[in-house]
């Protein structure tokens, strides 16, 4: 009898232990730019014609998530949500914002970030790569930063330091967005005295005199290695390595040119794959890889205008598909769109001390969930207004076949909302969710004007805003049987549509999608914004 009591007492003690060991893991997050889920071989299979041995090895040594999503199908909003655990549209407009890489910040973005969370947990924090979260630069005239008035001899006034990063080495925007210059710990590097531009859009603007587009990834790898070389097993660290590839300009390093049978786009993806090898080699050289959680993902799906033609060309991704390579995997749509090809991304986790090897996890995951997950792993309690759209997936790292905590998820294209409710997905538009006649969105079908026109033809007279939240103006898909989103069920399940619209409204009005006290949004948020000039004129004309 005493033995039985002792057994149950011991069992209760074991189950009461924290899910993870007391020793905090190091964390490295590698984020690609415009990499499609089908660009990675362990996801794309026979429909992927690019070799990605290092990403595949990471998955073989850890967990490959199959239902991971970004919060928006384009760059800035995704990065804002993953950095803050708060969805992009809850923030206000950018301030002090110039063109392209001169983009300013959004107020309150820096209030609580992954960097600040992990500093609170005692971590050394580093950020290397594409920033695109807004900067404030010193100017000669005191006006908003732009191509002609930035004083590159003076440090940034706002950047990674305000987000809680001890060390940083950044490019302010994408590789096709001037200024083409690096800043280390807010100090501009080299002499920003030239005017340069690259293939793709050939945006010519201020550049450091020795800056070359094809050297950027190698520069980032070397910086990451330098950061990891300084670390020890005594103090935990967090490194975010935000790559600029395979986002245009398609600019593989000299050593990678001609490596892929698919062409230059494949070369660039292979160099992205090489980032994993460089990070893993650096961790192993320091004996740190066993207790380091390495995450790999992308900020959204592939761009339809990217491929083997260096100049950005509408729908040139179809030329890759004609060869048998599908960057969006088995899904429909690309960057900017409302469909899974723009929103579902590769997401891989490796952590030998905790994560089982070679597993897959089918649970719904959001990039905004990093905040709550890192908080749980490092035993930091989030306050009521911190990470309001973040749900921890820490338990799935130990048990990938377990039930995930996330059941629903709000996402967005450039101008429209979508919401997941388990396997159901509701898109609040009749087409691909991109602006009409946008050259960078070509290839995302159906084209907006045509989709809206077809929907309007099914209705008579004037319309009200609530009419746009029903069939034929919305799309409802059951992703469990229709991963390509071909069969719109909105007309068949009107109650399901309204239930999901109500869920979306509740999460907008609550200022959060997690339990807790009601919060505010920084701006007025409309589910269907009929005042948005990017909506087709034929829609606005029919509304009361």
Mean pLDDT of 17-26: 66
Q: How many structural domains comprise the chain?
A: 2
**How far is Cα 17 from Cα 24, in angstroms, rounded to an integer?**
15
6 within domain boundaries: no
515 within domain boundaries: yes
Place of tokens 């079908």: 445
Q: How confident is the model at residue 530 (pLDDT cuts 50, 70, 90)?
A: confident
Tell whether 328 and 468 lie within a shared domain: no
Residues 412-462 pLDDT 10s = 999 999 999 999 999 999 999 998 877 777 899 998 889 999 999 999 888
Residues 168-196 pLDDT 10s = 999 999 999 999 999 999 999 999 999 99
Q: Which two tokens stand for residue 398?
A: 């130990």
The domain in which residue 89 lies consists of 26-406
Tell whether 459 and 491 lie within a shared domain: yes
Tell whether 40 and 174 lie within a shared domain: yes
Residues β-bridged to residue 410: 419
Tell whether 34 and 136 lie within a shared domain: yes
Tell whether 226 and 88 lie within a shared domain: yes
What average pLDDT does the chain have?
94
Residue 219: predicted pLDDT? 98
Mean pLDDT of 371-394: 97
C-beta of residue 126 within 8 angstroms of C-beta of residue 166:
yes
**How far is Cα 41 from Cα 369, in angstroms, rounded to an integer?**
25
Mean pLDDT of 508-523: 97
42 within domain boundaries: yes
**How far is Cα 489 from Cα 153, in angstroms, rounded to an integer?**
58
Residues 198-209 pLDDT 10s = 999 999 999 999
C-beta of residue 171 within 8 angstroms of C-beta of residue 129:
yes
DSSP state of 108: T
21, pLDDT greater than 60: no
Q: Which residues 6+ apart lie within 8 Å of 462 measured at CB? A: 542, 543, 544
Tell whether 469 and 346 lie within a shared domain: no
**How far is Cα 66 from Cα 398, in angstroms, rounded to an integer?**
16
Q: Mark which of 382, 406, 430 sits at the end of a domain.
A: 406
Range name among 6-20, 44-58, 98-112, 432-446 with the lowest pLDDT average: 6-20
| DSSP three-state, residue 493 | coil
For the chain, report the end-to-end CA distance as a whole number of angstroms.
Answer: 78
Residues 54-103 pLDDT 10s = 999 999 999 999 999 999 999 999 999 999 999 999 999 999 899 999 99
Residue 19: predicted pLDDT? 52
Q: What is the dihedral of CA 517, 523, 525, 531, to 10 degrees?
A: 170
Question: How many CA atoms lie within 13 Å of 380's alpha carbon, on the beta-carbon side?
Answer: 24
356, pLDDT greater than 80: yes
Mean pLDDT of 302-310: 97
Q: Write out the H or E segment, with its range, that includes residue 506.
A: helix 494-509
354 within domain boundaries: yes
Q: Mark which of 406, 441, 466 sits at the end of a domain.
A: 406
12, pLDDT greater than 80: no
- Looking at per-residue pLDDT, the higher value among 155 and 466 belongs to 155
Tell whether 137 and 228 lie within a shared domain: yes
**How far is Cα 516 from Cα 510, in angstroms, rounded to an integer?**
9
109, pLDDT greater than 50: yes
CATH number of 312's domain? 3.40.720.10
Tell whether 461 and 522 lie within a shared domain: yes
Sign of torsion, CA 28 29 33 35?
positive
Mean pLDDT of 104-128: 97
Residue 16: predicted pLDDT? 36
Place of tokens 């068949």: 492
9, pLDDT greater than 60: no
21 within domain boundaries: no
Q: How confident is the model at residue 17 (pLDDT cuts 50, 70, 90)?
A: very low
Tell whether 399 and 431 lie within a shared domain: no
Q: Which two tokens stand for residue 437?
A: 């006649």
Q: Mark which of 406, 423, 439 sits at the end of a domain.
A: 406
Q: Which residues 6+ apart lie within 8 Å of 271 measured at CB? A: 217, 245, 252, 253, 256
């Amino acid at each position: 009898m005493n033995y039985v009591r002792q057994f149950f007492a011991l069992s209760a003690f074991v189950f009461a232990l924290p899910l993870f060991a007391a020793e905090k893991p190091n964390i490295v997050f590698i984020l690609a730019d415009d990499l499609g889920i089908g660009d990675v071989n362990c996801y794309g299979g026979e429909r992927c014609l690019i070799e990605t041995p290092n990403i595949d090895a990471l998955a073989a040594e850890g967990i490959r998530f199959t239902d991971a999503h970004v919060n928006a199908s384009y760059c800035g909003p995704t990065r804002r949500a993953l950095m803050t655990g708060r969805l992009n549209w809850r923030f206000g407009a950018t301030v002090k914002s110039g063109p392209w890489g001169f983009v300013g910040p959004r107020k309150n973005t820096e209030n609580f970030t992954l960097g600040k969370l992990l500093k609170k947990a005692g971590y050394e924090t580093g950020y290397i790569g594409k920033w695109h979260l807004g900067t404030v630069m010193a100017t000669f005239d005191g006006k908003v930063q732009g191509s002609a008035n930035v004083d590159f001899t003076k440090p940034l006034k706002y950047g990674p330091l305000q987000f809680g990063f001890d060390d940083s080495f950044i490019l302010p925007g994408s590789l096709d967005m001037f200024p083409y210059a690096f800043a280390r710990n807010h100090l501009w590097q080299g002499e920003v005295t030239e005017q340069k531009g690259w293939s793709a859009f050939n945006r010519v603007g201020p550049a450091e005199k020795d800056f070359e587009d094809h050297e950027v990834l190698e520069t980032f790898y070397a910086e990451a290695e330098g950061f990891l070389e300084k670390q020890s097993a005594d103090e935990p660290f967090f490194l975010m390595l935000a790559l600029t590839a395979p986002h245009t300009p398609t600019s593989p390093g000299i050593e990678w040119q001609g490596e892929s049978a698919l062409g230059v786009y494949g070369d660039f993806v292979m160099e992205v794959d090489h980032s994993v090898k460089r990070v893993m080699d650096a961790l192993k050289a320091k004996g740190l890889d066993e207790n380091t959680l390495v995450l790999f993902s992308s900020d959204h799906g592939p761009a339809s205008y990217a491929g083997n033609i260096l100049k950005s060309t509408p729908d040139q991704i179809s030329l890759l598909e004609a060869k048998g390579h599908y960057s969006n995997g088995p899904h429909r749509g690309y960057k900017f769109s409302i469909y899974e090809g723009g929103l579902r991304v590769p997401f891989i986790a490796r952590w030998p001390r905790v994560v089982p090897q070679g597993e897959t996890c089918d649970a719904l995951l959001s990039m905004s969930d990093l905040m709550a997950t890192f908080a749980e792993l490092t035993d930091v309690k989030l306050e009521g207004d911190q990470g309001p759209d973040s749900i921890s997936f820490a338990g799935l790292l130990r048990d990938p076949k377990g039930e995930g905590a996330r059941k629903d998820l709000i996402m967005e294209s450039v101008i429209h909302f979508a919401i997941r409710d388990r396997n159901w997905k509701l898109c609040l538009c009749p087409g691909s969710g991109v602006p009409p006649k946008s050259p960078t969105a070509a290839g995302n079908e159906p084209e907006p004007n045509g989709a809206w026109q077809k929907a309007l033809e099914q209705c008579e007279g004037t319309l009200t805003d609530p009419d746009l939240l029903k069939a034929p103006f919305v799309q409802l898909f059951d992703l469990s049987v229709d991963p390509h989103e071909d069969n719109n069920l909105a007309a068949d399940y009107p109650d399901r549509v309204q239930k999901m619209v109500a869920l979306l409204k509740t999460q907008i009005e609550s200022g959060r999608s997690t339990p807790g006290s009601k919060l505010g949004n920084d701006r007025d948020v409309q589910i269907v914004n009929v005042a948005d000039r990017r909506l087709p004129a034929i829609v606005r004309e029919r509304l009361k």
